[in-house]
A and B are shown apart, each in its own frame.
Chain A
Amino acid sequence: MTYQENFPEKQQQFAAPPTIAEEEIEVDESIAIQTFGLKKYFGRGYNLVKAVDGINLEVKAGEIHGFLGPNGAGKTTTMLMLAGTLRPTAGKGFIFGKPIGTPAANKLLGVAIANPQFWKTMSAYKYLVYMGQLAGLRKSLAKERAKEFMHILEMTKHGHRLPVAFSTGMKAKLAVAQALMAHPKIAILDESTAGLDPESRFKLVNTIKELAQILNVSIFVSGHILTEIEKLVSRVTIIVKGKIGLTTTIREMRKEFSTGQFALECTNPQQVMQDLFNLGVTSQIFMDHNDVIIFQSEFIDYVYAQLPEILRRNGSSLMRFAPLEVTLEEVFINVISKRYGADFLFEEERLFEERLSRKARRGLKKWR
C-alpha cells in the first residue's frame, strides 16, 4: 500500500474530530460546566495546531473536578475558552446553562490562570479590591472580602506590597483569592498548585478544599502531575492531545489501571525474596534499588497467608506491604493505548516524518 492510499484512512482514524449534531446539545442548568464538541485550532496550513479537538466535558455542581493531561494537551486552552478569553473555533460550552464567553456566564465564574501577571503599580490589596469590584461587588464589600481572603491565605502582611515582586507561590495564591472572592458558583483554577513547594501546596490545597465546601463552589482544577491535585479532586478528566481520554474518579482510575504489582518493604529482603519465590505463586519478582521487593501474583490471598511465616523464619520485620501505586504516566499510557492504539502519541510525529521523507524522495527523483 502506498502512502497516499494509507494517509486519508489514518487521518480519519486519528484526527477526525467528533462532530456534534444540533439535536445532541442538551443544556442543563444544574450542571456546572458542559461542553459539546468544543474545538480550538491555532494557526493555518502547515502551522495548524489542534490545541483542543472536540471535547465534551461535564463538571457537576458542587464537585471538585480535576483536569489532567501532559504539557501541551490543551488544558489551558480549554479553560481559557470556558473563561471567555479565547473564542472557540467550533462547538458550544455552557456554565450553569449560560453560554461561555458572555457576561452572564462570567458572573458565575471565578478564574485563576497559570503564571498570573499583575499591574506594576497596584498593591496586592488594591488589586483584590479592584478585582472584587469588577466582579460586581460593592466597594465596601470588596474591601471586606479582600481583607478576609488575605487573612485566609496568610498574606495579610504582604497586602501593601506589589504583586509583581511576589514569589510564584504568592502569585498563585493571589490569583486564587481573586477567583474566589466574589463567591462564584464555579471556580476554574489552572495549575494553581503547580510549581509550589510541598508545604505551601499542601496548605493551598487544604484551603481550596475548605473554601469550596464553605462557599459551595464547584471547582475545576487542572494539573499535569497527579499527586499534586490528587488530594483535592474527586473526579478527573484526562485530556491528551486535545481529546478527552477518560473521566472517572481517582479511586476507579487506580483500580482500573492497577498493574497487579505489589510492593513489600522489610528488613532482610534478600532471604524474604528467595522464600517468596519459592512459594511458586509469584511472577516477575525483583528488588528495586531501594531494596523494595516488587512482585506480581495471581494468588495474592495465599501470599497474605504465608507472609507472616516467611517473615518470622527470616527474622525480618515488616515495614510496608501494599499494591504498587499507579503513576499518572502509566494511566496515560494505558488510556491512550486502550482508546487509540499504542502508537497514538507518536502518530503525528510519524506522519510528519513520512511527509518529510516523501518530499526528500521526490527531490531525489528530480535530482536523478
Chain B
Amino acid sequence: MSEISPPIEKIEFIPVELLEKKKKKPKKERRYNGLGIIFQKTFLELFSLKRVIPYILLSVIFPFIFSAILTGTLGNIGVMNLDYQIDIVVNYFTFYAFFWNAGILLWLFCGLSATTFISSEINQGTMIFLLTKPIRRSTIYIGKYLGYLVNMIIMQFFSLLIALTTTCTIFRVSRKVFATGMYYFIPIFLFSILIIACVGLILGFLSIINKRVVVGVLVNMLLIITIYFLGIILRLAIPQFYTTYHLYLLDLGYNLSLIFLFFLSGFGFQPIPTFQKNMGLFFGTYPTMLGDTSKYLDSLDPENGITIISSVNSYISPIVSLIVLVSITVFLLILGLIILERKDISP
C-alpha cells in the first residue's frame, strides 16, 4: 500500500495547468505523426541519380553555350575594367538565370516531380498503404510537398552556383566579379524558391485531380510555352491590342519577369541596355523597338549618349502580381486538400 500512496500525493502537487499541458503534448505528437517520415522518404527519393545528373548537366550546358558564344562576340572580357566585367557577367547571368536555370529548366523539373506527388502513389497502387495508416491525407500531401520543396531548393542552389561558376570561368574574369555575382545570386535564388513553391502547389494540385502523368506533363509544357514564348508572339502579332485590351494581365511571362525585376531591384541591380533589350523582347518588361516604341523614343536623351536607360513597363505593380500568384497557389493548395480529403481511392 505504501508503494501506491506516493503518486497520489504527487498528482495533488502538480498544478492543473501543468497537467493539462502534459495531456495536450502527446496529442499534438500523434497529430503530426508521419509528416517527418513522409518528408524524409520523398526528400531522399528525389535525390536519385536519374534526376540529379540530368539536372546538373542541363543547368551547366545552357550557361556554357551562352557564354561561349558571348566570348566570341564580346572578345576577352577579363582584360576590361572591373565595372564593365561586373556589368557584363551579372547582367548576362541574371538574364539566362531567369530564362533557363530559374526558368524553363526549373519549371520542367519541378513540374515533373510535382505532377507525381499523389498520382504516382495512386498509379502504383501504394496510396492505400499510406491511407490505412493513422495519418491525415493532408499530412501525406504536405509531407510530400515539403520533401520536394527542400530537395528542389538544395538542387537549385547548386544549379545556380554551377551556372555562375561556369560563366565566370568562361569569361575568365577575376574573383571579385564572382563575389559580386554571388551578391546578385541572392535575389535570383529567392525568386527560384518562389517558383519552386508555386509550381509545386499548382502541379501538385493537378496530381490530386488527375492521375495520368501525360496530362501533368502536357499542362507543364503548356505553362512553359505560355510563360516564355506566348508573350513575344502576342506583342509582335497584336501590339495595338496588347495594352488596350489589357492582355498583359494574361501574359504570365510579363508578370513573372516583373516579380523577378522587383526582387533584383531590391538588391540595387542596374540593367544594361542589352539586358533591357532581351527582357523587353521576350517578356515586354522594357519597351522595345518591336512593341510599343513611344516610350523607348521618349526616353532618348542626347546627354546619355549611346546608353539608353529606360524604365520598366509597369502596367501593373509587381507587388500585385506577386500577391495574385501567391493567392492562386494558396487557393489551389486549400482546394486540393479538400478534394483529396473527399476522394475515393481504391487499389
Q: Could you tell me which A residues sit within 8 Å of B by CB distance?
A: 76-77, 80, 83-87, 103-104, 106-107, 109-111, 113-121, 130-131, 133-136, 178
When distances are taken between beta carbons in the complex, the residues of chain A under 8 Å from B8 are none
**Are A133 and B128 in contact, CB atoms less than 8 angstroms apart?**
no
**Bound-complex Cα distance A87 to B37 (A):** 25
Report the number of A-B residue pairs with Cβ-Cβ less than 8 Å: 77
Closest A-chain residue to B36, C-beta based?
Answer: A133
Shortest Cβ gap from B19 to chain A (Å): 22
Q: CA of A119 to CA of B130 in the docked complex: distance in angstroms?
A: 12
Name the distance in Å between A142's Cβ and chain B's nearest Cβ: 10
Among the 9-residue stretches B76-84, B164-172, B222-230, B339-347, the one with 4 or more Cβ atoms under 8 Å from chain A is: B339-347
* Bound form: Cα–Cα A131–B133 in Å: 8
Q: Which among A85, A87, A106, A116 is the interface contact of B342 at CB below 8 angstroms?
A: A87
The answer on a CB contact under 8 Å between B344 and A130 is no
Q: Does the CB pair A86–B134 fall under 8 Å?
A: no
B347 and A134 within 8 A (CB): no
> Given A134-B37, A136-B33, A117–B132 Cβ distance below 8 Å?
no
In chain B, residues 90-135, which have Cβ atoms closer than 8 Å to a Cβ of chain A? 124-135
B45 touches A (CB below 8 Å): yes
Q: Name the one of B130, B344, B345 contacting A134, with C-beta atoms under 8 angstroms.
A: B130
Q: Name the residue of chain A whose CB is nearest to the CB of B347.
A: A113
Interface residue? B176 (CB, 8 A): no
A208 to chain B, nearest CB (A): 18
> Which 6 A/B pairs are nearest by Cβ-Cβ distance?
A117-B125, A111-B132, A107-B134, A103-B134, A134-B133, A106-B134
Complex: A66 Cα to B322 Cα, angstroms: 58
Which of B45, B124, B134, B342 is A135 in contact with, Cβ under 8 Å? B134
A119 pairs with B132, CB closer than 8 A:
no
- Minimum CB–CB distance from A236 to chain B (whole Å) comes to 23
Q: How far is the CA of A46 from the CA of B251 in the complex (A)?
A: 44
Name the distance in Å between B131's Cβ and chain A's nearest Cβ.
Answer: 4
User: A121 contacts which of B34, B45, B127, B132 (Cβ < 8 Å)?
Assistant: B45
Q: Given the complex of chains A and B, what is the CA–CA distance between A117 and B128 in angstroms?
A: 9
Q: Tell me if A115 and B41 are in contact (CB < 8 A).
A: no
Could you name 26 residue pairs across A and B whose Cβ atoms are closer than 8 Å? A80-B346, A83-B132, A84-B132, A85-B132, A85-B345, A85-B346, A86-B345, A87-B342, A103-B30, A103-B134, A106-B132, A107-B30, A107-B134, A113-B128, A116-B347, A117-B125, A117-B126, A117-B347, A120-B124, A121-B45, A131-B133, A135-B134, A136-B30, A136-B133, A136-B134, A178-B129
Q: Within the assembled complex, what's the spacing in Å between the Cα atoms of A120 and B116?
A: 15
Within the complex, which residue of A110, A111, A116 is in contact with B125, where a contact is CB–CB below 8 Å? Answer: A116
The docked-state distance in angstroms from the alpha carbon of A134 to that of B40 is 12
Give the residue name and chain of the A residue nearest to B125 (CB): A117
Whether a CB of chain A sits under 8 angstroms from the CB of B211 is: no
Tell me whether B136 is interfacial, beta carbon within 8 Å: yes
Q: Which B residues touch A120, using CB under 8 A?
A: 124
Whether B132 pairs with A86 at a CB distance below 8 angstroms is no
B126 touches A119 (CB 8 A): yes
Q: Which residues of A contact B129 (CB under 8 A)?
A: 116, 131, 134, 178
Are A86's CB and B126's CB within 8 A? Answer: no
